[in-house]
A and B are shown apart, each in its own frame.
Chain A
Amino acid sequence: MLKMHNLNKIYRTDLVETHALRQFHLEVGDGEFVAVTGPSGSGKTTFLNIAGLLETFDDGDYLLDGKSVKGLNDTQLSQLRNEKIGFIFQSFNLIPDLSIWDNVDVPLRYRKFSAAERKERIDNALAKVGLSARAKHLPSQLSGGQQQRVAIARALAGSPRFLLADEPTGNLDSTMARQVMELLEQIHDEGTTIIMVTHDPSLAKRAQRHIQVLDGRVSDLHVVRDTGRHDNEAHRGHSHAVATAAAAVGETA
C-alpha cells in the first residue's frame, strides 16, 4: 500500500545542500507493523514526513494505495492525509484549550462527516483507548500516557489505512510506554498498518519488520518476527512486501 521508489530529498540553503533522502526505496504492505530506526539526522523523520504527505520530495516516486502522489495539489494531498493517514507524535500534539473530545474531533471536522457520525467515531475511538470517561477533560488534566492515548484515538477516529508514529513513547516513562506500545500492537492486530520511528531498540524488536535508515538510505532491513497473528489476505500481502523490500535493499545497499 505504500511504495517509495528512488526518492530524493535535498534541503537547500544559500550555503549548504543537505541530502536528507538518497535513492530511498521502501515498500510497506497492508497490515504491516514496521519500525524505523537510525541515528539523529539519518533521514527517518524526513521519510515519515514524506510518507505522511507533509513534505514533498525532489524526485523519485511515492505511491499510496497504488496511486502516485506526485503532482497532487495541496487540497488533494490534504484530503489523502485526512482519509488515509493517522499521525501519532512524540509530544502528543494535542490542542491545549480543546477538550479531549474536541481534540479527537479535529481530523473528522475536515472529513465532512455528519455530527452524528463524528460523535459515534469519537466515542468509539475514546472507548478503544479507555478514555471515554475523560472526554470533557482538557489535555493538561491527563497524564502523559493518557495524552498519547488521546492522540492515538484522534489518529484512529478517521479509520485511516495506516498510522505514522514518530517516537510515540519518547516522552513517556517505561510503564506508560509499555501501555502505549500494547495499544499500538492491539491496533495493529486489528489490521491497521503502522510505521513507527523510534530510537528504542527494544520497541523496534516488537515490530514485525525493522528498517534502519542511515545517511538517507534504507541501510538494513530485518524481518524481526512473524507473529503469526495474521493469517488473512493482508498478512499475505505483508509477506510479499517484506520480500520485495528485502530485495530492494539488496539493490541499493
Chain B
Amino acid sequence: MFRYYLQLALKSLKRNPVLSALMVMAIAIGIGACMTTLTVYSLMAADPIPQKSDRLYAVRLDSWDPNQPWAEPNEPPPELTYRDAMALMRSDIPTAHAAMYKGAFALQPDDKSIPAYLVFARITFKDFFSLFDVPFQYGNGWDSSADTSLSQVVVLGKAANDRLFGGADSVGKTVRLNDKAFKVIGVLADWNPTPKFYDVNNGAFNDAEDIYLPFGVALPLQVRTAGNTNGWKPENIDTIESFLNSELVWIQFWAQLDGSDTESPAEQKARYQSFLDSYVMEQKKLGRFERPLNNRLSDVNQFMSEREVVGEDNRVLVGLSFLFLAVCLINMIGLLLAKFLGRAPELALRRALGASQWQVLQLNLVEVSLIGVIGGLLGLLFAWFGLIAVRALYGDGYGALTSLNGTLAAQALLIAITASILAGLYPALRVGRMAPAGLLKTQ
C-alpha cells in the first residue's frame, strides 16, 4: 500500500502546486535555519576524541595573580609556565603526557620551484601522538631522546606533505625550517580534530598545525610561541632565558590517566592530583603560587565546557532556530488544513469505497512525509548556503564547523519528516474523522 499512497501523494502535490510549494518552502526554510545553527553547534559541542576523552586530562596549575583569579569565579589559567611544564614532564605517574605549544617557522622546500612559506608547528613531546591517537600515513613520531636533544627531525601534517611532496612517502627527506635542515621521520594521515581541544586557547576551531617538532630542538633554536602568552606579574623579559623563567603562561599540558594492572584510573588520577598539589606546595615555599591550591585535572569534555568552547550565544541561537522551525510548522498546519479540507470529498469517497479511517490517515501522513522529505532536502540545500554564509562571515577558522556530514544530513531529514508528520497529524486526523456521508454530495 505504501507505494500506492506514495503515487497518490505525488499526484496530490501536483494537483495544488502553489500550496504544495508553500508547504515545502515552509519546512525547507525552517530546516535550513535549524540545520545551519545545529551543524555549527553540534560540531562545536562534539566530543573530538570519544574513544578516550574521559581518560585525557588538561593539566592546570593556579600560578596566577594572588589578587584576582584568571577568570571568575576561580578559574586557574589554561596554560602553564615553562618551568612548571618541564617540572611536570619529570613525573612518571601518567600513562602518557606532553607539554606543547604552537610555534611558527619559515619553511623552505628542497624543490626550489615552491617558494618558502610560513607554517605553524606544534612543538611537543613524543607522547603527543599516542595521547591523541594521531594517525600516521608514513613513518612514525620521534623517540624520547629527541625530546631532550637537538635532533632535527620533523613530522609533517598531511596537507604539508601533499604540498611539498605531492602526497608521496617523504620519510627520510629533508625540509628546511628557519634555514635549518630537518629530516622527515613521519607523515600524518588526515587529522584535524574539531574542536581543536588540545589548544583551545589559540583558537578552538583552528586547523591542526602543519608540522610537529620535538620540544628539545625548538628552544635551542629559540622558537618562540606563536600562540597566546599571558602574564600577571611585571617582569623584565629581554632574553629567551628570562622568558622561560618568567611567570608567563603559554604551554598547554595534557596527561593520560587510564590506570594500570595495579591501579585503577581513579587511583592514578588521585595520585597525580596529589603530585600536582605537592609540587605547588613546594613552589609556594619558593615564593610562587600565592593563590590557594587550585590545581585542575579536567577531562576533554570538562575542559571544553570550562573553557566555554560552545558559548551561551550558540545555544540561544539553536533555540531560536528551533522556535523559527516551530513558526514554520504552525504555518504549515494551516496550509495542510486548507489542503486536506479541499481534498475531503475525495477522502470521503475513499471511505465510502472501503478505506478505513486509519488507511485515510496513513494516506495523508505519507503525503506530509513526502512534503517533509522534499522540504528536508531543500532545507539541506539552504543549510549548505547558510554554512557558506557563516564561513564568509567568520573566515576560514570556522571551516571545519561549516561542513555538513552524512549524520547531520540524515538528522535534517529525520527532523523534517518528524516535523511534517507532527504538523500534519491534526489536519489529517480532523479530515479523517469527518463523516463521509455529508461530503459525498459535494464532490
Contacts and interface: CB of A to CB of B under 8 A. Distances in A.
A93 B440 contact: yes
B354 A81 contact: yes
Contacts of B349: 93, 95, 106
Contact of B353 (A87, A92, A97): A87
A54 B4 CA distance: 24
A55 B435 CA distance: 7
Given A54-B437, A93-B443, A98-B11, A74 B352 contact: no
Contacts of B351: 54, 78
B352 A154 contact: no
Nearest to A73: B356
B354 A111 contact: yes
Contacts of A49: 437
B354 A110 contact: yes
Nearest to B8: A98
A52 interface: yes
Contact of B355 (A52, A89, A110): A110
Interface in A142-159: 154, 158
B15 interface: yes
B440 A74 contact: no
A91 B443 contact: yes
A95 B349 CA distance: 9
B353 A154 contact: yes
B211 to A, nearest CB: 65
Nearest to A167: B441
Interface in A181-236: none
A107 B353 contact: yes
A78 B437 contact: no
A216 to B, nearest CB: 16
B348 to A, nearest CB: 8
Interface in B325-370: 345-346, 349-359
Interface string B307-325: 0000000000000000000
B1 to A, nearest CB: 7
Nearest to B353: A107
A79 interface: yes
Interface string A96-137: 011000000011011100000000000000000000000000
A78 B15 contact: no
A110 B441 contact: no
Contacts of A95: 346, 349
B436 interface: yes
Given A54-B437, A97-B11, A75 B443 contact: no
A72 B345 CA distance: 24
Contact of A106 (B350, B436, B440, B443): B350
A109 B350 CA distance: 10
A82 interface: yes
Interface string B64-81: 000000000000000000
Given A78-B359, A97-B11, A110 B436 contact: no
A106 B443 CA distance: 16
A79 B353 CA distance: 9
A81 B346 contact: no
Contacts of B4: 109
A97 B15 contact: yes
Interface string A54-93: 1100000000000000000011001101110001011111
A111 B1 CA distance: 11
Contacts of B441: 90-91
A102 to B, nearest CB: 9
Contacts of B345: 93
B353 A74 contact: no
A82 B351 CA distance: 9
Interface in A24-76: 45, 49, 52, 54-55, 74-75
Of A45, A97, A154, most buried by chain B (CB within 10 Å of CB) is A97
A111 B353 CA distance: 10
A93 B359 CA distance: 19
A81 B354 CA distance: 5
Contact of B354 (A45, A82, A90, A91): A82
B356 to A, nearest CB: 4
Interface in B389-443: 435-437, 440-441, 443
Of B14, B346, B353, B441, most buried by chain A (CB within 10 Å of CB) is B353
A109 B345 CA distance: 18
Contacts of A83: 354
A85 to B, nearest CB: 9
B326 to A, nearest CB: 32
Given A55-B435, A95-B346, A109 B1 contact: yes
A67 B121 CA distance: 86
Nearest to B1: A109
Given A75-B358, A91-B443, A97-B11, A54 B353 contact: no
A54 B1 contact: no
Given A82-B354, A93-B349, 15 more contacts: A52-B352, A74-B356, A74-B358, A75-B356, A78-B357, A87-B352, A93-B345, A95-B346, A106-B349, A106-B350, A109-B4, A110-B353, A110-B356, A110-B359, A158-B354
26 contacts: A54-B352, A54-B440, A55-B435, A74-B357, A78-B355, A78-B356, A78-B359, A79-B356, A81-B352, A82-B354, A82-B355, A87-B352, A89-B440, A89-B443, A91-B443, A93-B349, A95-B346, A95-B349, A97-B15, A106-B350, A106-B353, A107-B354, A109-B1, A110-B359, A154-B353, A158-B354
Interface of B: 1, 4, 11, 14-15, 345-346, 349-359, 435-437, 440-441, 443
**In the complex, the 7 A-B pairs of residues with the closest C-beta atoms, listed nearest first:** A82-B354, A78-B356, A110-B354, A107-B353, A49-B437, A54-B437, A93-B443
